[in-house]
């Protein structure tokens, strides 16, 4: 077995790296494969805005031409400058059940980091932003949400075997709509009273074109609202636009809510239909019939994913939170959706967790990010 960085200009090498999880989880009832075209975009050094300011390589472990493990290893220079660290990030880890293959892979990560004088390693995480990562350590018997990791239980053991220690957990929960609605009467009254007193109101959308007009404003709010989240760094306009366009592609504009005060955006929630069943049937490709399965899932799913909730710190506890969640609950009550998958809330975010408990959230999944000191 040997490890190497793939050549991202080689379609053959890129396909080796991209295809491993599709082979590893083929037919798995809870794994949700994303479209392969989107995964290839991550490795495109000309279009992925991460490479405008930072560096990454994509490592694989091979044995006789068979790919046994993969990982992305990153030096995020903006993060390190902002946080005053010399950190290396890892993400997109997948591996067969062979601990030696993962040991070899993680040794390759150590060598990569030391060659750049980096002194710690964090992950798994995505390439852009502070979210979308971790190893699943609870909830193996539940289907994954879109773009949220699912993995076999041995992943946790393999990270810790190579010297990684638990660093931060995020929780995901389910909310099930009641026939009479999930909004307690007292919350409705508090929301209305505080909104009137503070001047908050909800802004809704009718089209994806309209959504695109507010991307830059949401980017500004994101940078202000999440600066205290572990792993935060101020993502660029290009990075946020890159993330936003992927989300808008699967969005239902009716499910997007902004909280406004005069002309200022002070909060947002991003929700979209859960088309996981369609993606499972598409198996990573729109053709020949993947598009049909995905379109059908849009029309038939009764699940929605809540991924992205933010309130400016100076407005938290003053009614903006209540306005946001009440408006979202009203939308869901009038829609086809009976279940919501609330994804990856940091355990340190007690205010958001308490808000969700008000609406009956049951925490059912845990993802873990690790840290290793070199």
Q: Do residues 231 and 132 lie in contact, with contact meaning Cβ atoms separated by under 8 Å?
A: no
Q: Dihedrals φ, ψ of 74, to 5°?
A: -130, 140
What average pLDDT does range 336-340 have in this prediction?
Answer: 89
Strands 55-63 and 2-5: antiparallel
Write the burial class of residue 7 (CB in 10 Å: 0-12 exposed, 13-18 middle, 19+ buried). exposed
Angstrom distance (rounded) from CA 30 to CA 241: 30
- Report pLDDT for 255: 87
> What percentage of the chain reaches a pLDDT higher than 70?
93
The 10s digit of each residue's pLDDT in 162-221 is 999 999 999 999 988 875 555 666 666 766 777 777 788 888 898 999 989 888 888 888
pLDDT the model gives residue 358 = 61
Inter-residue contact 200 to 266 (CB < 8 Å): yes
| Percent helix, percent strand, percent coil in the chain, to nearest 5 | 40, 25, 35
Q: Give strand pairing partners of 136.
A: 367
Which of 53-62, 181-190, 338-347 is least confident?
Answer: 181-190
If you average pLDDT over every residue of the chain, what do you get? Answer: 89
Mean pLDDT of 62-86: 96
**Other C-beta atoms lying within 10 Å of the C-beta of residue 146:** 18
- The DSSP call for residue 35 is P
pLDDT, position 130? 59
- pLDDT tens-digit readout, 250-293: 888 888 888 899 888 998 888 899 999 999 999 999 999 999 99
**Domains of the chain, earliest start first:** 2-169 (3.40.630.30), 175-373 (3.40.630.30)
Least confident of 71-75, 96-100, 128-132, 168-172: 128-132
> Quick one: angle between helices 320-333 and 185-198, nearest 10?
130
Q: Identify the three-state secondary structure at position 363.
A: strand
């Amino acid at each position: 077995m040997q490890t190497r960085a793939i050549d991202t200009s080689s379609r053959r090498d890129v396909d080796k790296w991209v295809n491993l999880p599709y082979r590893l989880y083929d037919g798995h009832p809870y794994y949700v494969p994303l479209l392969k075209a989107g995964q290839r975009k991550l490795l495109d050094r000309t279009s992925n805005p991460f490479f405008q300011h930072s560096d990454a390589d994509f490592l694989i472990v091979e044995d006789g031409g068979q790919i046994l493990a993969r990982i992305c290893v990153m030096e995020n220079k903006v993060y390190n400058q902002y946080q005053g660290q010399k950190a290396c990030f890892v993400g997109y880890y997948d591996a067969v059940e062979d601990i030696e293959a993962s040991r070899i892979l993680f040794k390759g990560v150590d060598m990569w980091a030391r060659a750049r004088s980096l002194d710690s390693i964090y992950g798994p995480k995505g390439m852009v932003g502070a979210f979308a990562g971790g190893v699943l350590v609870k909830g193996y018997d539940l289907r994954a949400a879109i773009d949220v990791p699912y993995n076999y239980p041995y992943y946790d053991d393999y990270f810790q075997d190579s010297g990684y220690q638990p660093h931060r957990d995020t929780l995901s929960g389910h909310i099930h709509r009641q026939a009479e609605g999930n909004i307690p009467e007292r919350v409705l009254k508090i929301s209305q009273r505080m909104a009137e007193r503070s001047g908050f109101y909800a802004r809704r959308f009718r089209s994806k074109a309209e959504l695109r007009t507010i991307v830059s404003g949401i980017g500004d709010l994101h940078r202000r609202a999440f600066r205290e989240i572990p792993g935060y760094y101020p993502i660029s306009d290009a990075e946020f636009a890159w993330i936003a366009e992927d989300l808008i592609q699967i969005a239902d504009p009716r499910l997007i809510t902004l909280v406004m005060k005069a002309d200022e955006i002070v909060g947002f929630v991003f929700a979209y239909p859960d088309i996981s069943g369609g993606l499972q049937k598409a198996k990573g490709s729109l053709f020949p019939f993947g598009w049909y399965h995905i379109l059908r899932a849009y029309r038939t799913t009764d699940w929605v994913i809540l991924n992205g909730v933010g309130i400016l710190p100076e407005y938290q506890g003053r009614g903006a939170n209540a306005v946001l969640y009440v408006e979202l609950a009203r939308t869901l009550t009038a829609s086809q959706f009976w279940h919501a998958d609330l994804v990856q809330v940091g355990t340190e975010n007690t205010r958001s967790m308490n808000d969700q408990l008000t609406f009956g959230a049951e925490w059912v999944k845990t993802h873990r990010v690790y840290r290793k000191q070199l």
